[in-house]
Amino acid sequence: MAGLGDFSNLLKQAQKMQKELSRIQGELSERVVEGSSGGGMVKAHVNGSQELLSIKIDPKVVDPEDVEMLEDLVTAAVKQALKAAKELSEKEMAKMTGGINLPGLF
């Protein structure tokens, strides 16, 4: 039956895609992107899996009288890093899918 052969072929393709997806996700978890704010005074490092790894704050920007400014700088740096990580992930996934957006993959 041709139908079973087609299904078997589709299953093999799905398994191959799953392996490739796992490989890419592993690579992304090891790649690090940076977001910064305040002219580089606050830096956030995020991996390609969008996990926050570290925050670096230049002591010059720490002002006990203006904690709100520091909070804003940290938030901006983290948002920028997360955006860069998301773009990296989408770029790598697009290589696997040929640019086709497959909902639920990322």
The arithmetic mean of pLDDT across residues 11-28, rounded, is: 88
Please give the sequence-ordered ranges of beta strands (E in DSSP) within 1-106, or none if there are none. 32-37, 42-47, 52-57
Band the pLDDT of 67: cuts 50, 70, 90.
very high
pLDDT at 48: 92
Domain limits of the chain? Answer: 2-97
The arithmetic mean of pLDDT across residues 69-85, rounded, is: 97
Amino acid at 53: L
More reliable by pLDDT, 4 or 27: 27
Report the predicted TM-score, pTM, of the whole model to 2 decimal places.
0.76
What is the second-level CATH architecture of the domain 2-97?
2-Layer Sandwich (3.30)
